[in-house]
Structure 1
Amino acid sequence: MRYFPIFFDLDGRDVLIAGGGEKALQKLRLLAKTTARLRIVAEDVSADIAAAGIPTLEIARRSFVDSDLDGVALVFAASDDASLDARVAAAARARGLPVNVVDGPGESNFIMPAIVDRDPIVVAIGSEGAAPILAREIKAKIESWLPARFGRVAQRAQALRSRVQGAIADPVVRRRTWEALLQGLWRNAVLADDADTAERELSRQLDAARAQAQPVGSVALIGCGPGEPDLITLKAQQHLQAADVLVVDRLVNPAILEYARRDAIRIDVGKEPEGDSALQEDINRILVREALKGQRVARLKGGDAFVFGRAAEEMAAVRAAGVPVQVVPGITAAHACAASVGLPVTLRTKVRQFAVVTGASADGPVDLDWPALAQPGQAFAIYMGVRTAQHFRDKLLSAGAAPQTPVVIVENGTLASERGVATELASLAQAVTEAGIRGPAVIFVGLDWASAGLSRPDKVEVYGMHRAREGEPAKAGVAAAHAGQGRAPRW
């Protein structure tokens, strides 16, 4: 390590910027965030600098002289004149002053990092001048991870320090309480500017600490999206990084768990269709049990927690135990799968409503409003419908749905193993069987590309009679079985 990273106290100190153009303006914008007294020395000063309106800025419209360095703590050589910058740097080094020459690391005795500013939380990223573009890339990633109001959490914590110190004498309990506050519901309430919730949570944690009890935990019900790790939300990522315990469903991509802390406890509660699974009551008990230990619990679900995710039952159980709970929405599987194959779920003049229905029921075959779903112009997505495809086909046809109603099946949507299959309602069950669809899959009924003026993507396979009519090789057993049933759906 050639450059040692430090944070320099500029409160009330003088900083000199030699230069009056764009380079000087860039440094001025950054330094204006500090409490330093700023001085610019340059014969020509840009209108942007002159109009900056920085109360701590003094401008001297003249050439640089060595005496400009008197009393200065930090120096920036930021003119467009290389010889002037070199003279400023040499004079500063002769006095033992830290000096930075903009775009001149060889003349500098300190360099500027890429900075993520969440005052008073500040992150500096350096590459020792070797690859500033990489430093900017890292800065962008950190910017996306840290909420815009993140500094407010540190400010509020500083304001509460004496209150917490006075309420909790035991240093171990005090540390656990700070962890619970800064990584749990109190922090989220501060970020949301919800002062009432923040104060209630602070009181809860202080009461628990006074009673020498475990700090009060919390539960976050997190929708992890359809599977592609990059499709989880920033808020979900933040909760994953803060969680002490992960309670994980089967459909959550293991790659998403890489966003979590390595030391987080992981509890698998995956539900296998027609196989062994954790009972919902057991999952509820796990969430409550871990939260009452003072843990920050992240309940990870595929798709969106409130779309066939049984999050309402879990929320009710956690609230009944007096544990704070919140929901972090995720991208729904239906929307993500449709987007992945370029299939619009609404069209302004043709498809004006879109429904999501379940294909599975704990009470046996699912019962829906079949006449309503069979109406012309209806469009809907079936979740968990692979095993009940024949049931849906028969019920919809019996209710009057056209046999040629377009159907699109998307299996493992957004993942590398994704498959898309286009067929028609009359061929739905056969297409599922012959294509070897095992799930997880979303089945779209009443949607097609042609209605939107689009063409079917090449990656989407076709099963049904229309394939033979278009001169394409028909999938054995499907096209032949339904030949002559009527016109083909539009692909």
Structure 2
Amino acid sequence: MDYFPLFINLKNKPCLVVGAGEIAARKIELLAKAGADITVIAPEISPQVSQLKNTYDLNIIQRSFTAEDIHRQRLIISATNQKNINKLVTTTAEEHNIPVNVVDNPSLCSFIVPAIIDRSPIVAAISSGGASPVLTRLLRAKIESLIPPAFGRLAQLAEKYRGLVKEHINPPSERRIFWEKTLQGSIAELFYSGKETEAEARLKSAILNTSDTHQVIGEVYLVGAGPGDPDLLTFRALRLMQQADVVVYDRLVSPEILDLVRRDAEKIYVGKQKNNHSLPQESINELLARLALAGKRVVRLKGGDPFIFGRGGEEIETLVQHNINFQVVPGITAASGCATYSGIPLTHRDHAQSCTFITGHLKDNIVNLNYQQLVAPNQTIVIYMGLTGLDNICASFIQYGASPKLPIALIQQGTTQSQRVIIGTLQTMPDLIKNQDIQPPTLIIIGSVVALHDKLKWFHPEDKCTYE
């Protein structure tokens, strides 16, 4: 270990920053967050530092650094590009046993500034000992994605009730178990979802009734898994997936996303596809309620977004009937994800000022849609689950007045490495796909924006594109 990790109390303590450029401004903001009394010395003051003067009540001295400037300082940071000044700062600081950091010059430092994850009062610091600052920032970004913004306020709540927990729960080992369950369970999730008053009330009740044997009710998280690419998951989705006891998922959830679920979680497949439902929707609703009533934390993992053709509202209604806590985590819907990965903007000033999402389910071998509205110009139409009825859709658009040459795109398994884009027109598309081995899920986009695909495409999984 090249450096001993240490947290220093700098509240109201005099600290010196030598230099007043962009980098110095970043260091000033860090020191200010710690409550330091900051003096800045530099012959030239950048606009960034000038803007910080009133915000943090900085003492700015506009001249070059001298050895006398270190008196009474508790900590010094030098952020200049002048080697002689940096060397003088370090030499003078060491003579007076004052911790000193020279930005991007480890050999002149007695301490280094780590990458910081600030969820005060919880603070984490990551360092490579100056070997690779970029690598430490990348690691910080990964950890940041796992720690909710409300984590610090949750810590303050725990601090508030530490005494009460100690009074009611003995021995210490049981207190540890109590806190582990509390800070990873339903009370914490209530807090993260903004129900802080309810979370505090339930925490207090749990402390005062620790000897009760009443049934523990779990909760359900409806999580949008997005269109397929794991990188499109939200931070909240990933966190809940990694703490779930049970994951109920459908066929639109890619294997790569399912691999991110907690390893020991029970996984229940309820895949739904045309004419082949492993479980009817009503049974899925009751399954979620039954698992939660058994005390499980349940993730209902749904492709795309739970509230866009995902039947999430129906599942929530059942949970409400059973008085079960739930969260809904939005996902990137297929329309947005597949269009973006295909280089097809859904709206564009020169092509479309509106966008309509519809479902293309067949009923009595026809697709019952308001074609008179859909063929209006200057709009984009996105059709979910429309592959089976595609011939009918194209013919109906033409019948109701759309140009046979209106561009149309069929996107297969969008955002994944199996993505394939077939570009045609309303007239040519049925023949284009007739002998193609199309693998669902698919999405259909109709509108002149499709013509922008060639110019704007950027995602190239082996360039699987077919044209008329």
TM-score normalised over the length of structure 2: 0.79
Structure 1 partner of 2:182: 177
Matching of residues 90-239 of structure 1 within 5 Å: 90=91, 93=94, 98-143=99-144, 146-163=147-164, 171=175, 172-181=177-186, 183-189=188-194, 194-199=195-200, 202=203, 209=210, 211-213=212-214, 215-239=216-240
**How far 1:410 moved relative to its partner?**
1.0
| Correspondence for 1:488 | none
Q: Cα–Cα, structure 1 residues 82 and 391, in superposed 2: closer, same or farther, change >3 Å?
A: closer
Aligned: 1:33 with 2:37: no
Question: Within 1, Cα distance between the matches of 2:396 and 2:205?
Answer: 53
Task: Give per-residue Cα distances to partners, 1:111-169, cap 9 Å, x unaligned.
Answer: 22122323222221211111122223333444555455543332333234345555666
Deviation of the 1:17 alpha carbon? 2.8
* Native 8 Å contact 1:186 1:201 kept in 2: no
Corresponding residue for 1:445?
Answer: 446
Partner of 1:7: 7
Secondary structure at the residue paired with 1:308? coil
Aligned residue in 2 for 1:334: 335
Contact 2:226/2:334 (8 A) holds in 1: yes
Return the letter of the residue paired with 1:177: T
* Shift in Å, 1:327: 1.6
Shift of 1:437: 1.5
Pair 1:58–1:164, CA change in 2 (3 A) = farther
1:441, CA displacement in angstroms?
Answer: 0.6
**Aligned counterpart in structure 2 of residue 461 of structure 1, from 455, 463, 466:** 466
Q: Are residues 203 and 365 of structure 1, via their aligned partners in 2, closer, same or farther at CA, if it must alter by over 3 Å?
A: farther
In the alignment, the residues of structure 2 paired with residue 436 and residue 227 of structure 1 have an alpha-carbon distance, to the nearest angstrom, of 20
Q: In the alignment, what sits opposite 2:387?
A: 386
CA contact under 8 A between 2:395 and 2:426: conserved in structure 1? no
Query: Does the C-alpha gap of structure 1 residues 81 and 96 become closer, same or farther in structure 2, counting only changes over 3 Å?
Result: same
**Cα distance, 1:395–1:18 mapped onto 2, change above 3 Å:** closer
> Which digits, 9 at most, give the CA deviation of each residue in 1:178-214, with x for residues without a partner?
322564122221xxxx545545654676687563346
Q: CA 1:153 to 1:395, structure 2 compared with 1: closer, same or farther past 3 Å?
A: same
Which position in structure 1 is the counterpart of 2:305? Answer: 304
| Equivalent residue, structure 2, for 1:51 | 53
The separation in 2 between residues aligned to 1:301 and 1:263, in whole angstroms, is 20
Cα distance, 1:380–1:95 mapped onto 2, change above 3 Å: closer
SS in 2 for 1:226: coil
Q: Within the alignment, does 1:64 sit opposite 2:51 as a pair?
A: no
Amino acid at match of 1:34: A
Question: C-alpha deviations, 1:260-297, integer Å up to 9, x for none?
Answer: 44444333322244446233233223322332344332
RMSD: 4.1
Structure 2: gaps spanning 5 or more residues: 458-462
8 Å contact from structure 1 (residues 251, 301) kept in 2: yes
Structure label with greater radius of gyration:
1
| 5+ long unaligned stretches in structure 1 | 464-491
Residue 369 of structure 1 pairs with residue 369 of structure 2: yes
Task: Tell me which residue corresponds to 1:433.
Answer: 434
Change (3 A) 1:403 1:95: closer
Equivalent pair of 2:367/2:389 in contact (CA under 8 Å): no
1:315 equivalent in alignment to 2:320: no
| C-alpha distance 434-53 of structure 1, shift in aligned 2 (>3 A) | closer
Deviation at 1:231, TM superposition (A): 2.0
Q: Distance in 2 between matches of 1:353 and 1:38?
A: 52
Partner of 1:251: 252
Amino acid at match of 1:414: T
Q: Secondary structure at the match of 1:7?
A: coil
TM-superposed CA distance for 1:425, in Å, is 3.4
- Percentage of pairs with the same residue: 36
Q: CA deviation at 1:227?
A: 1.0
Which letter does structure 2 place at the counterpart of 1:303? G
Q: Secondary structure at 1:184's aligned position in 2?
A: helix
Q: How has the CA–CA distance of structure 1 residues 374 and 179 changed in structure 2, closer, same or farther, with 3 Å as cutoff?
A: closer
1:410 paired with 2:415, answer: no
Aligned pair in 2 of structure 1 residues 26, 281: CA closer, same or farther (>3 Å)? closer
What per-residue deviation string (whole Å, max 9, x for no partner) do you get for residues 34-54 of structure 1? 2455567x6969584893564
The answer to whether the Cα contact below 8 Å between 1:356 and 1:382 also exists between their aligned partners in 2 is yes
In structure 2, what is the equivalent of residue 290 of structure 1?
291
Q: What code does the residue aligned with 2:7 have? A: F
State the partner residue of 1:360: 361
Aligned partners of 1:328 and 1:449: how far apart in 2? 30
1:407-438, CA deviations, whole angstroms, 9 ceiling, x for partnerless residues?
32111112222111123435544433312213
